[in-house]
Every structure is written in structure tokens, then in C-alpha cells.
Amino acid sequence: MPLSELGPNCIALVVDDNPEALGMVSMALEQSGITVLIATDGQAAIDLTYRVEPDVILMDAVMPGIDGFETCRKLKSGPKAVMTPIIFMTGLTEKEHILQGLNSGGVDYITKPVIVEELIARLSTHIANSRLLQSARRALDTSGRSVLAFDPDGRLAWGSKGATDVLGMFDLQTRGPEWKNWITSCSTSPVSAVPPFDAGDVTFQFMGMTPVPEILVKLMRRKADRNEDVLAAKFSLTPREAEVLFWLTLGKTNRDISAILGLSARTVNKHLEQVFQKMGIDNRTSAAVMADRVLNSP
């Protein structure tokens, strides 16, 4: 499937410490109609992924600090594990390196120098496959089934998108024996005998076991009512910054936003500068795409 058929809101995160490679890949993707975000090290890639949720990540394996393999492992493990497909781009061609990339959670491995046509073809396939999987999990959310699956030790195996988003906001392990005892009761008791597990404004309800075995849990949470509140929480914005961003997603110009909120044009510009910085982007289009994705996710 050509990238142009994946829609205008398709986002790729390119992670590479080599400016030349970063520029070449970014240009090729932008010419194919995809929004490109960049990171030059592993930690920056992790931080940006949690804020933006790109459709695909192109990851250099060899980088200073946290290398690509470790970055991939961090993104693909724990309660905040991401569904985004990660494709490695590297000059390492030995079988052991390819296996290392796949074992760390990558879905594909492209050797440098990158052949643009091959990259685009593989990228399109992985994005399309990922969207099919995420659509299935979003169907769980829209049908009222925000579902998580845990192994018998309480580690997250998978979850529908809305449920994993909420789960990433707090650490179950800090609840220690309380959480462990509840998970154990799920694996040893019938559904009717296991009471819900309350954790602040989040409640876990045992649904049953799969043959694997996995413990299926429905997650219920009180949601924010206002779009501005959602944006403020997602991107760590002030209330006013969130308002400016919300009107930006509706296609309003700076002059429109100034009139709507009773602010000067200069103040609106300053708010947008802070918004862009916190979101890790540098233009209105990327901000609008990212914010729209958050507001329209299940």
C-alpha cells in the first residue's frame, strides 16, 4: 500500500544521531506525504513516543547513550508498552544483530545505506498491519470493552489502546502485595468470587482466563469532560495553552483565536511557542495532527 493511501495524519518518528541519514530519510518520507518527527538519541525517542504515539518508528541501532536495541526494549516493555511498529535501520549486517533487533521488539530490519523504495514499501506494510491490529483493539474500547491481559504474575501482556493509555498513568507495582493478591485471586477463583480492584479513579474488573493462560481484566475510569482538559493532561500544558491548542485543531487562525479568547495576537503566538516546545514539534500542522489524534482516540 502506498504511503499516500494511509491518510494525511500518518506520523513517522525517525531516530538517528547521523544528520545526513536523518535528513535523507526524513525528506523521502515527507515527499511521500507523511508527517515526520525526529529524535537524535534513545531517551529523546522514548519521551517523544509517549507524547505523540507515531504510526511507525525508524530506529538506528548504534547511537551514543541508550542504543537502538535498548530503546526498543524500553518502548516495548512494561505498563507503558507501545503498539507502534519499530523498524531498525543500521549498518550492522551480522545475523546476531538482526536477531538482536527482532528480539528487542522490532518488526523489521533494514541495512544501511537505505534504499528509499524498499524503505517506503516496508513502512507501508507495517503501518497497514499495525492499524488493522489497533482497529481491532479500538473496537474493544468503542464497544465498552477497555480490556487488559496480564500473565499470572501480574505483568501486562497486551491491552486495548484506551486501556493501556490509562494504565500508563500509574504504576501498579507500587501497590505491592495488594495488587499481587488480587491477581492471584483472579487465577485461582471463579469470576463471580473476585471483587473489583479499586485504584483511585480506576477500577479493574476480572473477566476470565484465556487458555494461554492470561488474566483478562476490564478497566473502567472516569474520563475528563472537556477537550481542553484532555490536551492539558496529555501534553503537560497550562489551561490557557490547552485552550489555544484546542482552537488550533479546529482550524482557527491566530487572529481567530485572539478574538475568541480575548487575547492579543502576540500573547497567542507566545502560547503557541510554549505548546510547540512541550509537544516536541515546530509547526502548526504537526501540532494540529497530534492534538486531533489525542481528542479522537477512543
pLDDT in tens, 244-297: 999 998 888 888 888 888 888 899 999 999 999 999 998 988 898 899 888 866
Q: Could you read off the pLDDT of 146-185 as tens digits, one per residue?
A: 788 887 777 777 777 667 767 766 666 666 788 888 988 9
Task: Write phi, then psi, for 220 (nearest 5 degrees).
Answer: -125, 135
How far apart are the C-alpha atoms of 174 and 271, rounded to whole Å?
Answer: 36
CA-based nearest residue to 84, from 47, 121, 33, 49: 49
Residue 110 and residue 9 in one domain: yes
Residue 211 and residue 240 in one domain: no
Residue 132 and residue 204 in one domain: no
Domain harbouring 253, CATH code: 1.10.10.10
> Domain limits at 200?
147-221
Residue 217 and residue 231 in one domain: no
CA-based nearest residue to 207, from 118, 122, 144, 254: 144
The last residue of a domain, from among 221, 251, 282: 221
CA-based nearest residue to 29, from 128, 125, 130, 124: 124
Task: Write phi, then psi, for 282 (nearest 5 degrees).
Answer: -135, 15
Element housing 283 (H / E) = none
What SS3 state is found at 11? strand
Residue 74 and residue 190 in one domain: no
Residue 22 and residue 113 in one domain: yes
- pLDDT for residue 58: 93
Residue 154 and residue 123 in one domain: no
Residue 66 and residue 99 in one domain: yes
pTM higher than 0.85 for the full model? no
Domain harbouring 91, CATH code: 3.40.50.2300
Return the number of other C-beta atoms located less than 10 Å from residue 199's C-beta.
Answer: 18
Q: Are 146 and 166 in contact (CB under 8 A)?
A: yes
Q: Which residues contact 99 (CB under 8 A, 6 or more apart)?
A: none
Residue 197 and residue 239 in one domain: no
Residue 81 and residue 24 in one domain: yes
Sequence letter at residue 215: I
The last residue of a domain, from among 221, 256, 285: 221
CA-based angle 268:274:277, to the nearest 5?
140
Cell of residue 292, nine digits? 486531533
Say how many domains are in the chain: 3
How far from chain centre, in Å, is Cα 51?
7
The last residue of a domain, from among 96, 113, 140: 140
Residue 169 and residue 67 in one domain: no
Residue 205 and residue 250 in one domain: no
Q: Could you read off the pLDDT of 18-67 as tens digits, one per residue?
A: 888 888 888 888 888 888 999 999 999 999 999 888 989 999 988 888 89
Residue 109, beta-bridge partner list: 88
